[in-house]
Amino acid sequence: MKITTTLMGAAATLALTAGLATAEANPGLIIDLGGKFDKSFNESAYNGAQRWAEETGSDYAETELANEAQREQTMRRMAERGANPVVVLGFANASTLDVVAPDYPDTDFVIVDMVVDQPNVKSIVFSEHEGSYLVGMMAAMASETGTVSFVGGMDVPLISKFACGYAQGVKAVNADANVIVNMTGTTPAAWNDPVKGAELTRSQISQGSDVVFAAAGGTGIGVLQAAADEGILSIGVDSNQNYLHPGSVLTSMVKRVDNAVYDSFTQAAAGELESGITVMGLENEGVGFAMDENNADLVSAEMVAAVEDAKAKIIAGEIQVHDYLSDNSCPAF
Give residue-wise pLDDT tens across range 110-122: 999 999 999 999 9
- For 45-99, write each residue's pLDDT tens digit: 999 999 999 999 999 999 999 888 999 999 999 999 899 999 999 999 999 999 9
pLDDT band at 34 (very low <50, low <70, confident <90, very high): confident
- For 1-25, write each residue's pLDDT tens digit: 444 433 333 333 333 433 333 334 6
Q: Check: CB of residue 17 under 8 Å from CB of residue 11.
A: no
Q: Check: CB of residue 189 under 8 Å from CB of residue 200.
A: no
Q: So what's the pLDDT on residue 10?
A: 36
Q: Are strands 249-255 and 86-89 parallel, antiparallel or unpaired?
A: unpaired
- For 254-313, write each residue's pLDDT tens digit: 999 999 999 999 999 999 999 999 999 999 999 999 999 999 999 999 999 999 999 999
Q: So what's the pLDDT on residue 35?
A: 84
Q: So what's the pLDDT on residue 39?
A: 87
The alpha carbons of the chain give a radius of gyration, in whole angstroms, of 20
Average pLDDT of the residues in 139-164: 97
- Mean pLDDT for the chain overall: 92
Query: Cα separation of 26 and 22, whole Å?
Result: 9
Alpha carbon separation from 44 to 31, 49, 51, 207, 256 (Å, rounded): 11, 9, 11, 33, 7
Q: How many helices (DSSP H) and strands (DSSP E) are in the chain? A: 10, 13
Q: So what's the pLDDT on residue 32?
A: 92
Average pLDDT of the residues in 150-159: 96
Average pLDDT of the residues in 309-323: 97
Determine phi and psi for 104, rounding to 5 degrees: -130, 65
pLDDT band at 38 (very low <50, low <70, confident <90, very high): confident
Handedness of CA 270, 274, 277, 282 (dihedral sign): negative
Q: So what's the pLDDT on residue 223?
A: 98
Q: So what's the pLDDT on residue 228?
A: 98
- For 165-200, write each residue's pLDDT tens digit: 999 999 999 999 999 999 999 998 999 999 999 999
